[in-house]
Structure 1
Amino acid sequence: MRRRDFIRNATVATVGISIAGNVELFAQKLEIRKIFLTGGGYDLKTIKHLISLTGKENPKICFLPTPMGDSEAYINKWFEIAKELPVQPYVQKVFVTSAEQKTPFEDTLLQMDAILVTGGNTLNALALWKAQGIDIVLKKAWEKGIVLSGPSAGAICWFEEGLSDSRPENYTAVKGLGFLKGSNCPHYHTEAERRSLYLKMVEEGRLLPGYACDETAGLYFEGTQLRRVITQNTTDKAYKVTISKGKVVETALESELI
């Protein structure tokens, strides 16, 4: 081969590798970061909507029951619900020992199409996730395009903070993972003190402005932008709570029935 032909071919090969690498990086950037949360339960309708967000016909959905202390009752309920759905159900416990968990949490969670976090104690769940490095894994999952979801504690955890019953006696502010900006308040009209206390704490600056949801109302985010508001009935609603001229403002969001 002539020297000039070798140089030309080597240059073409290098350019080809560079383009392939850039295409791969571009594809990675195209992954849509998805979070779908509700104010309360995770019934059949809600999970069917979650399934639709994965874009898969038979998605792998991992149940993460840390806020409920890996409750066997909740785990059993998940597998019962899953029998009626086109899903491959998994569960990832956190209360485990090295004898019980032979693989890193990351190996399971990053193979999923969606991760469903239960309600329960937000404060305790976050502490355990951080101790085990699961907070980092969940961020990787989000960046990879795995749908993150959950009701109640499983909704608060994705925000910077939220109004929670995680501590004894009173509702208090708790810190979340911070994937979504602002705060979150679930069970907005179900629990008598929630709404009034949330509005008061936002107005006083003890909680960041954010979103509140009734039981079956849900919010779907792509990246950090709210893309869709859903509900199962006309009574349950979702709200955006902001501050204007030092006063709290509650705005009901337009929603669609599922």
Structure 2
Amino acid sequence: MNRRDFVATGGTFAAAAALPAFAQPLPATPAPHMIDSNLAAPDARATRKILIAGGGFRTKFIGYMAQLTGKTRPRICYLPTASADSPAGSLAFYQSCAPLNVEPFVQNSFIESLSQTQGWDEVLLSMDAIVVSGGNTLNQQAIWKAQGIDVILRQAWDRGIVLGGASAGSLCWFDEGTTDSRPKALSIVKCMGFLKGSHSPHYDAEAGRRPLYQKLIGSGEMQPGYACDNDAGLYFEDNTIKRVVAARAGAKCYHVKLVNGKVVEETMEPEML
């Protein structure tokens, strides 16, 4: 429907019953009757997979993600919401995919309906894997909720589509974590909760990350969880870690928890990709 016809009907979607599904607005929290039951229902046979890195989700990590799909030439989507759909980030994604036998695709979030002719579900649920960019996690979460993308990502996870990313692209899957998304200082961000517990990315790259993460877990302000150096990561099936990996020598992951009232940081030695 063009704008003239839309106005002529009174400007309501209720009067435009003939509109295709992708033109319907997605609420922040869709009512049950508004979600296609075929899309929403998890596949009982699917293994739910998430691959994260503390920073630097480049060719080696994307290559491993491609293996996890089990496809010969998987379709891998880059979702750069946290970077405000940065063209430089999208170009870097294509460059990282160039040596791999994958079909890369970029789905921006700052869109308009005249050129975005497919719904979020039509795009994201057609992929074999989804890489989430780094950037501002707080803004990413707000946009996803406003657009209903968070609901579609949950459906993707339930269907066995491999999810992942680094920085904001690793934080987003956990209950909570440490973020630089607000002015002045690192703070706590609440996320989607696919993975239980907390997360700190960039553990070796930013001086404030380690002390703050340990302080928050020690005080009980944050749940125990996992920290990852840049170029090191974790592969989860459901909420179970199946593999610790790295793309750089010396990069590690850590399980940070409370034991008898004291913060304990267990080093998790990775396999090299």
Normalising TM by the smaller chain, what interval? 0.7 to 0.9
Q: Which has the higher helix share?
A: 1
Quote the sequence identity (%). Answer: 49
2:140 match: 125
Structure 1 position 255 matched with structure 2 position 270: yes
In 2: Cα distance, 1:77 partner to 1:213 partner:
22
SS in structure 2 of the partner of residue 233 of structure 1:
coil
2:87 match: 72
* Equivalent residue for 2:208, pick from 182, 187, 193: 193
Deviation at 1:255, TM superposition (A): 1.9
Deviation at 1:99, TM superposition (A): 1.5
In 2: Cα distance, 1:70 partner to 1:233 partner:
27
In 2: Cα distance, 1:99 partner to 1:179 partner:
33
* Equivalent residue for 1:228, pick from 243, 251, 258: 243
Structure 1 position 154 matched with structure 2 position 173: no
2:65 match: 50
1:24 match: none
In 1: Cα distance, 2:184 partner to 2:83 partner:
18
Structure 1 position 34 matched with structure 2 position 49: yes
Closer, same or farther: CA 233–102 of 1 in aligned 2, 3 Å: closer
Instruction: Give the structure with higher Rg (CA).
Output: 1
SS in structure 2 of the partner of residue 50 of structure 1:
helix
Structure 2: give runs of 5+ residues left out of the alignment: 1-41
Question: Which moves more between the two structures, 97-106 or 54-63?
Answer: 97-106
Confirm or deny: 8 A CA contact 1:173 1:206 kept in the other structure: no
Equivalent residue letter for 1:198: Y
TM-score w.r.t. length of structure 2: 0.83
Confirm or deny: 8 A CA contact 2:255 2:267 kept in the other structure: yes
Equivalent residue letter for 2:257: T
In 2: Cα distance, 1:182 partner to 1:82 partner:
31
Map 1:93-242 to 2 at 5 A.
93-242=108-257
SS in structure 2 of the partner of residue 220 of structure 1:
strand
Question: Which moves more between the two structures, 139-148 or 203-212?
Answer: 203-212
Deviation at 1:28, TM superposition (A): 2.8
Confirm or deny: 8 A CA contact 1:38 1:215 kept in the other structure: yes
Deviation at 1:246, TM superposition (A): 1.6
SS in structure 2 of the partner of residue 248 of structure 1:
strand
Deviation at 1:54, TM superposition (A): 0.8
In 2: Cα distance, 1:159 partner to 1:28 partner:
22
How many residues are aligned here?
232
Runs of 4+ in 1 over 6 A off after TM superposition: none
In 1: Cα distance, 2:115 partner to 2:141 partner:
21
TM-score w.r.t. length of structure 1: 0.88
Equivalent residue letter for 1:193: G
SS in structure 1 of the partner of residue 43 of structure 2:
helix
SS in structure 1 of the partner of residue 145 of structure 2:
helix
In 2: Cα distance, 1:208 partner to 1:28 partner:
30
Q: RMSD in angstroms over aligned alpha carbons? A: 1.1
Confirm or deny: 8 A CA contact 2:58 2:93 kept in the other structure: no
Question: Which moves more between the two structures, 44-53 or 130-139?
Answer: 44-53
